[in-house]
Chain A
Amino acid sequence: MSAVVSSSVTPPGGQRRKVSRFNSGLTRALIAEVGAVILTVFTWAGLRTFQNSLEIGAPGPQIALGIEIALGLLVLIVPAYGARAIVRSRQARHLAFERRILDARAAAEDSRDDVLWVVGLGLVAAIVANGTFFLAGHHARVRSVLFNWDLIWRFRVALFHGFVWNVKLFLVAEVLVLVWALFVAVIRQLPGRAFGPIRVIAIVYADVFRGIPTIIVIYLIVFGFPLAGVEPFASHMSPNTQLFWLGTLSLVLVYGAYVAEVYRSGLEGVHWSQSAAARSLGLSQWQTLRHVVIPQAVRRILPPLLNDFVALQKDTALVGLVGLAEILNISSILKSQTFNLSPVTGAAAFFLIVTIPFTRLVDYLIKRDKARTQAG
């Protein structure tokens, strides 16, 4: 019946356009539902094992049961989506039977969306279930050795006092790094032959300090300087103060090398014609840097710079390895006293409290900046 139309469109010997096949996705939905039910049972089993482990191992906080029940109920969403997928694909079948093919396809698409939800949420449920099994494993040893909430809570003040050192370390080091790295970056940018030798020194510095493991720099400086009697780090300071300043120096030297590179690539990343445009308007070299190049460079610099700062915040823990009474050091003393690693977990939590908001803030700043200067 379509011969008249198709003869004009199809090439000689071509086939008639096939009626496109319709798939209601019922099989898919059924498989998803079976998987969802299995996962739900698995998750419940995991939660149950976890609950039991609370009685054998160190007791957990009372809210644990509430959370478990909430998770146990939430996981029911997965089979619910599976069920709706089945209903929708049966609807699709029905509609197809009535020759309402477009509606049928729409219903099949809805069914497929539900199946995607089953897969997506199912993965989450699988992770939760495995996590609970893992924590409850070995007669609850994993949980009680690594995540003993009571121990963490009991030592919170000692940990906090240690963490104050870390905060001081990274605050002081970050300010110094900003200034020091800018100095190094500017030296590397100095034009002309006269500055050749000093440029070479800046390059060697960056290569050397980016090439040595941070912990080795810290060892050499923190142990080496006092041993060699280097002023002003000699013994008239209190041990912790001395360790603090030597640690800061080490971190500044290492991170200064990284951040100098960040600055440099940021400045070089601004298209040269931007400077040309500014200079051609009569702006001086300094005005060009100040009003045109640096504001654009900062945008590029900010993400890698703040990433380096997160790394610096974490590396303050290395100064504990050489004796400063910072949080890792404190927690490892507590570990030896209690034969339990939970204080170290507590130390990790302290870092997260600082680093997670910090990284979120970075992302937010980047997004806001993009929204402001780019076409919407």
Chain B
Amino acid sequence: MSTFLELIDVHKYFGDNEVLRGVSLGVEEHQVVCLIGPSGCGKSTLLRCVNALEMIQQGEIRLDGERVSGRGVDLNALRQDVGIVFQSFNLFPHMSVLDNVTLAPTKVLKLHQSDAVDRAHALLDRIGMWEKRDDYPDRLSGGQQQRVAIVRALAMQPRLMLLDEITSALDPELVAEVLTLVGELAREGMTMLIATHEMGFARDVASKVVFLYAGQIEEAGPPDQMFRDPHSERTRTFLRSIIEAKRM
């Protein structure tokens, strides 16, 4: 079986600024890959390229053996398979929680309203938010919003989830509830590519940790090795800076 998600020598420019400089990366099915790296190294850009919110200029991205970058790709079909959750501004503020979750299943998958609600019911129950289904996002805490955003992506039954620093806009006490949910998904075998600053979390759930530096993969490996014994000096410096920042 070939690699589930495969990036082959991906280059991405914003004008003259080369943000991804030849990234090659594989994610197997049921694997959780964590992307770490300093701010501006291209983590968000990489994730956005995977579900074609950004076009790449060179290289190729394959999902389950099929090319999903470049011309001729059915973007809507790709995005049904790949869910993404951003740092913030995920939920639609003019819709209730329930409508947020059922919108895509009814409009894209053409599910019956009642089937979509059933699906949403199961998912919202899981995160204890079914009671809040009629609330608007502004009334929810940041942690609740992010969990609803995850569940909304799950309602499309994606085969791959991309999470882009989904806890970094949250108050510290709300981080845990969101990470717990992601940890559960990982244990259930959801394939995920996660950009994160939460090193403890990465160590717990990741099958592989990838250190991105200035648009290139500096180093990749299993979490134990990456956190205990990184080969690259840059990785070491980065991890040290994170630890120091946490202490302060």
Question: Which A residues fall within an 8 A CB radius of B?
Answer: 271, 273-274, 276-284, 287, 291-292, 295-296, 299, 372-376
> Once the chains bind, are B107 and A375 in contact (CB under 8 Å)?
no
CB distance from B85 to the nearest CB of A (A): 9
- Residues on the B chain within 8 Å of A282, using CB: 76-77, 79-80, 104, 108, 156
> Once the chains bind, are B84 and A280 in contact (CB under 8 Å)?
yes
Q: How far is the CA of A376 from the CA of B139 in the complex (A)?
A: 8
Instruction: Count residues of chain B with CB under 8 A from any CB of chain A.
Output: 30
CB distance from B47 to the nearest CB of A (A): 10
**Is the C-beta of B128 less than 8 angstroms from some C-beta in chain A?**
no
- Residues on the A chain within 8 Å of B92, using CB: 274, 277-278, 292, 296
Q: How far is the CA of A39 from the CA of B93 in the complex (A)?
A: 52
- Residues on the B chain within 8 Å of A271, using CB: 89
- Residues on the A chain within 8 Å of B86, using CB: 273, 276-277
- Residues on the A chain within 8 Å of B108, using CB: 281-283, 287
Q: How far is the CA of A276 from the CA of B103 in the complex (A)?
A: 15
- Residues on the A chain within 8 Å of B197, using CB: none
Q: How far is the CA of A200 from the CA of B89 in the complex (A)?
A: 33
> Once the chains bind, are B94 and A281 in contact (CB under 8 Å)?
no
Q: How far is the CA of A374 from the CA of B136 in the complex (A)?
A: 8
- Residues on the A chain within 8 Å of B75, using CB: 279
> Once the chains bind, are B103 and A299 in contact (CB under 8 Å)?
no
> Once the chains bind, are A277 and B89 in contact (CB under 8 Å)?
yes
- Residues on the A chain within 8 Å of B80, using CB: 282
19 extra A-B contacts, CB within 8 A, seeds A299-B94, A373-B93, A375-B139: A273-B86, A273-B88, A273-B89, A276-B53, A279-B79, A280-B51, A280-B153, A281-B103, A281-B152, A281-B156, A282-B76, A282-B77, A282-B104, A282-B156, A283-B103, A284-B76, A296-B94, A372-B136, A376-B139
> Once the chains bind, are A283 and B107 in contact (CB under 8 Å)?
yes
Q: Which of B84-134 contact A (CB under 8 A)?
A: 84, 86, 88-94, 103-104, 107-108
- Residues on the B chain within 8 Å of A372, using CB: 136
Q: How far is the CA of A351 from the CA of B152 in the complex (A)?
A: 50
- Residues on the A chain within 8 Å of B76, using CB: 282-284
Which B residue's beta carbon lies closest to that of A275? B53
Q: How far is the CA of A250 from the CA of B138 in the complex (A)?
A: 43
- Residues on the A chain within 8 Å of B88, using CB: 273
> Once the chains bind, are A291 and B103 in contact (CB under 8 Å)?
yes
> Once the chains bind, are B94 and A373 in contact (CB under 8 Å)?
yes
Q: How far is the CA of A376 from the CA of B94 in the complex (A)?
A: 15
- Residues on the A chain within 8 Å of B84, using CB: 280
**Is the C-beta of B215 less than 8 angstroms from some C-beta in chain A?**
no
- Residues on the A chain within 8 Å of B143, using CB: none
- Residues on the A chain within 8 Å of B223, using CB: none
Q: Binary interface profile of B, 163-175, with partner A (CB < 8 Å = 1, else 0)?
A: 0000000000000
> Once the chains bind, are B138 and A375 in contact (CB under 8 Å)?
yes
Q: How far is the CA of A279 from the CA of B91 in the complex (A)?
A: 13
Which A residue's beta carbon lies closest to that of B87? A273
Which B residue's beta carbon lies closest to that of A374? B138
Q: How far is the CA of A274 from the CA of B103 in the complex (A)?
A: 14
> Once the chains bind, are A280 and B79 in contact (CB under 8 Å)?
yes
Which B residue's beta carbon lies closest to that of A369? B94
**Is the C-beta of B42 less than 8 angstroms from some C-beta in chain A?**
no
Q: Could you give 21 example pairs across A and B, Cβ below 8 Å?
A: A271-B89, A273-B90, A277-B89, A277-B90, A279-B75, A280-B53, A280-B79, A281-B103, A281-B104, A282-B80, A282-B108, A283-B103, A283-B108, A284-B76, A287-B107, A295-B94, A372-B136, A373-B93, A373-B138, A374-B138, A375-B139
**Is the C-beta of B83 less than 8 angstroms from some C-beta in chain A?**
yes
CB distance from B62 to the nearest CB of A (A): 19
Q: How far is the CA of A23 from the CA of B90 in the complex (A)?
A: 56
Q: How far is the CA of A28 from the CA of B188 in the complex (A)?
A: 75
Which A residue's beta carbon lies closest to that of B90? A277
Q: How far is the CA of A281 from the CA of B91 in the complex (A)?
A: 11
- Residues on the B chain within 8 Å of A295, using CB: 94
CB distance from A302 to the nearest CB of B (A): 13
Q: How far is the CA of A284 from the CA of B88 in the complex (A)?
A: 22
CB distance from A15 to the nearest CB of B (A): 40
Q: How far is the CA of A65 from the CA of B104 in the complex (A)?
A: 67
Q: How far is the CA of A295 from the CA of B103 in the complex (A)?
A: 14
With A281-B156, A284-B76, A373-B138 in contact, is A291–B93 under 8 Å at CB?
A: no
- Residues on the B chain within 8 Å of A376, using CB: 139
Q: Out of B48, B138, B153, which one reaches A281, CB within 8 Å?
A: B153
